[in-house]
Each structure stands twice: as C-alpha cells, then as structure tokens.
Structure 1
Amino acid sequence: MDDDSPYARWEQRTEIPMFLASLVFLAAYAVRVLAVSMTSGWRTLCWITMLSLWMLFAVDYVMRWNLSGQRFPRFVRTHFLHTVVVILPLLRPLRIVPLYDVIQRRQGEPRLSLHARVIAYASLSTLLLGFAGALAVYQQERGAPGATMRTFADAVWWAAATLSTVGYGDITPVTSRGRAIAIGMMAGGLALLGAVTGSFSSWLLQIFSRESDKRPPES
C-alpha cells in the first residue's frame, strides 16, 4: 500500500495513541496481578480499564481490515502480528517497529543506522516481552501446588533465563497455562536473540570489510 492509502492514513493517526493505550493496558494488568492487597473497587477499575482498551484494540483491528480491502483470511495471513496482539493484548507494546516508522515519517531521515535500529528494537522488545511474560506466568503459577515460582522476582529471574535461552531450571512452570506461556517466551527469545546476534555480526563484518578496503595492496 502507498502512503496515501486510507490504511496508511489510519495507521499514521492511530499508531501512537494505540501504543500509549497498550502501555496503559500493561500497567493496569501489572497492578491487578501484583497489588494483591488492593480493594475490590480498584481491582474492578483495573478490569474495566483492560476490557475497554481491549475493545479499542479490536475496533482498530476491524478498521484496519475494512481499510485494507482484503478478505478476512488474507488479512489475517498478511497482518499476523495485528491478529496476535488482539488475541493477546499484553503483546501490543511489541509493535514498536510500526510505531517508529510512523514517527520517522514525521521527522525525516532516521538518525540511527540500520544495525543500531535492529538492536534497539530487539532490546526494547525483549524488555517488554520479559515483563509481560513474567506477569502472565506469575499470575498462573502463584499459589499453584508444587510451584517453585513464589514471588514476582522469581518470575522476572525465570523470564530473563528463558529469553536469554540459558534455562537454569531452578524455577520452572508447573501449570499447563504457565508452560504454554513458557513456550511462547522461548520462541520469542530465540527470535530476538537471533536478530541482535545477526545484526551485530553484520555490523562487525562491515567494519572489518571497510578496514580491509582502506589498506594498500600488498606488493
């Protein structure tokens, strides 16, 4: 789609507000999970906030589908991440690449190199995914029979070990939902780690290649 299409204009107008809404959703979810002594009134407010924002994400998804002019099955295939973040709104903050594109269109040429942008995207995505995953798995594991994840600090440690593909095994999910979340975290960790490693390796190769080109030819 070109930049003058209705879909592009909708994305230009809504990407930043939707990203901010996703951060509010994540904050409301974090408060609901971590503030165990919170009164029922505040818990209800957090739930209403999350539900309202999820409906907002669903409306955004429907609008994107209508403006794309595609049939629904094709739209799902070509906009897979949009579909995932509607089903799992905790992952909505991971849409930082489209957010950067929208901001960049307003500011002109990018200030960071391609490799620096990839590393920055992957690093920020890792932090957001780790925090969201730690919250989600802690909610499932907390109080479960035989659980080794007793505090949120344990969940953060587990998320860091999982995303870095270290996997110490000292803390492991015991519930079926917790293990399902763990599978997603493992896949996300491998993808993000591969992006950072590949980009960093490519950057080093370019530097060494430039240095080799600058050397005078051997006689």
Structure 2
Amino acid sequence: MDDDSPKARWERRTEVPLAVASLVFLAAYAIRVLAPGLPDGWRDLCLVVTLAAWALFAADYAVRWRLSGQRLRFVRTHWLDTVVLALPLLRPLRVVRLYEAVQRRHGRPRLALHARVMVYAGLSSLLLGFAGALAVYQQERGAPGASMTSFGDAVWWTCATLATVGYGDIAPVTPVGRLIAVGMMAIGLALLGAVTGTFASWLLQVFAREDDERPPGS
C-alpha cells in the first residue's frame, strides 16, 4: 500500500514540477555560461530563473522537513536532498526521480532493479556531466595558463574524469575548477561502482538461474 502521509502526498504532488524546475534551472545556467555575449537583460532573466528554481527547492525542503516532524534527524536521513539544496549544480538529479513518478501515475510495469540502477546511473552521468562541464568551463575560461579554452574541451575533460581515465591533456588550473574536479572524480567512482556491481550481480543471477534449470547429470 502506498504511503498516504502528508509528507508522501506532498512529494507525489511536487516531484514532476520540481523535475521541470531542475531542467529549467540547468537550461538557464547553460545559457549564462555558453552565451556570454547576451544582452544584459537576457542574462538578468536567466539569473532570476536560476534563483527562482533554487527558491522552489528551498521551499520544498522546508515543507518536507516540517511535515516529517523529524527535526535534525531529517537532515541525516535526507542527506542527498540537503546536498542538492546546498550545491545548485546537483539539482538536475531530481530529473532522475521523474521516471518513477511517471511509471506510478500511468500504472506501467517498472523495470527490473538491475535495469533501473543502470538507467538511473546513465541519466545521472549525463546530467551531472553536462552540469559539471558548464561549471568548470565557467571557472577556467580566460584563466591564466588554462588548457580548457572551449566548452568542447570541458566536455572532453568531464568524460575522461567521470570514466576515471584521466588523460591529463586538459586539467583545471583555478582553485574552484580543481574543487569541481574532485567532486567529479568522486561521482565518477560512485557511478562506475554502482553500474559495475549491478551488472556483476545480474550476471551471477543469470548463471545461477541457468544452473538451476539444467537437468541433473548434464
């Protein structure tokens, strides 16, 4: 039976609008970074959109904290939401939760657990990779001695970092850029570990099922 608590009802009502707000936030931020020649009026509008998206997330966090009745325990049990609220570039992760919301509302069968993990890891990699490339490019462009001179360089660096390859041909030189790099490394290791572990578990289940179905003595 679905949870019918006030907090659960609030989350079901807001998960789609917040996912849309995450995409709008990412689009506005991308425009500010990739189109530096925009008129000041358009840049100010993008800034207002990003701040409004942050305000929506802050309001949602405050409401869920109030409805949970857990006080400080809410922060510990919802640490990912707390981190997402503090670090704006992680807000697109809310889009990953939209898949489950759509599945529940339309009554469609969900993917198997292993498939869901891989889908979520893939979506997270795309969203975080794009957001990370934007963030590091914003810090690195024009910096003295920077090897990251275009957004294409930033995307290449992000792919190499998330894949834990680290060619070293392009590397951030600014303090904030290096801080972002540390976060990207940690995210890459976590996502790679999740996908690898899930795939290995799926293979073990397949082999075990084949052994169970094999006739005795064969």
TM interval, shorter chain, is over 0.9
Residues in 2 aligned to 1:206 and 1:101: alpha-carbon distance in whole angstroms: 24
Q: Shift of residue 126 of structure 1?
A: 0.3
Residues in 2 aligned to 1:217 and 1:209: alpha-carbon distance in whole angstroms: 14
Which residue is 2:3 aligned to? 3
What is the letter of the counterpart of residue 106 of structure 2? Q
Which residue is 2:65 aligned to? 65
Which residue is 1:48 aligned to? 48
Q: Shift of residue 67 of structure 1?
A: 0.7
Residues in 2 aligned to 1:96 and 1:70: alpha-carbon distance in whole angstroms: 26
What is the letter of the counterpart of residue 57 of structure 1? F
Q: Would you say the 8 A contact 1:140–1:177 is kept in 2?
A: yes
Q: Percent identity?
A: 72
Which residue is 1:215 aligned to? 214
Q: Shift of residue 101 of structure 1?
A: 3.4
Which residue is 1:92 aligned to? 91
Residues in 1 aligned to 2:26 and 2:192: alpha-carbon distance in whole angstroms: 23
Q: Shift of residue 103 of structure 1?
A: 2.8
TM-score between both structures, scaled by the size of structure 2? 0.95
Q: Where do 1:107-146 residues align within 5 Å? A: 107-108=106-107, 110-146=109-145
Residues in 1 aligned to 2:45 and 2:204: alpha-carbon distance in whole angstroms: 52
TM-score between both structures, scaled by the size of structure 1? 0.94
Q: Taking structure 1 as reference, are residues 96 and 51 closer, same or farther at Cα in structure 2, changes over 3 Å only?
A: closer
Gaps of 5+ in 1: none
Residues in 2 aligned to 1:195 and 1:26: alpha-carbon distance in whole angstroms: 25
Q: Taking structure 1 as reference, are residues 39 and 97 closer, same or farther at Cα in structure 2, changes over 3 Å only?
A: closer
What is the letter of the counterpart of residue 44 of structure 1? D
**1:186 and 2:194 aligned:** no
Which residue is 1:38 aligned to? 38
Q: Would you say the 8 A contact 2:96–2:124 is kept in 1?
A: no
What is the letter of the counterpart of residue 68 of structure 1? S
Q: Shift of residue 133 of structure 1?
A: 0.3
**Greater CA drift, 81-90 or 32-41:** 81-90
Which residue is 1:205 aligned to? 204
Residues in 1 aligned to 2:100 and 2:27: alpha-carbon distance in whole angstroms: 24
Residues in 2 aligned to 1:170 and 1:11: alpha-carbon distance in whole angstroms: 44
Which residue is 2:168 aligned to? 169
Residues in 2 aligned to 1:98 and 1:34: alpha-carbon distance in whole angstroms: 27
SS in 2 for 1:174: coil
Structure 1 segments (4+ residues) deviating >4 Å: none
What is the letter of the counterpart of residue 9 of structure 1? R
Q: Would you say the 8 A contact 1:22–1:89 is kept in 2?
A: no
Gaps of 5+ in 2: none
Q: Shift of residue 7 of structure 1?
A: 0.5
Q: Shift of residue 132 of structure 1?
A: 0.3
Q: Shift of residue 209 of structure 1?
A: 1.3
Which residue is 1:27 aligned to? 27
Residues in 2 aligned to 1:101 and 1:161: alpha-carbon distance in whole angstroms: 30
Q: Shift of residue 52 of structure 1?
A: 1.3
Residues in 1 aligned to 2:181 and 2:190: alpha-carbon distance in whole angstroms: 14
Q: Would you say the 8 A contact 1:33–1:139 is kept in 2?
A: yes
Which residue is 1:104 aligned to? 103
Residues in 1 aligned to 2:91 and 2:5: alpha-carbon distance in whole angstroms: 24
Deviations 1:29-77 (A, max 9, x none): 0000000211111111101111111111111111111111111x21111
Q: Shift of residue 99 of structure 1?
A: 3.0
Residues in 2 aligned to 1:182 and 1:210: alpha-carbon distance in whole angstroms: 42
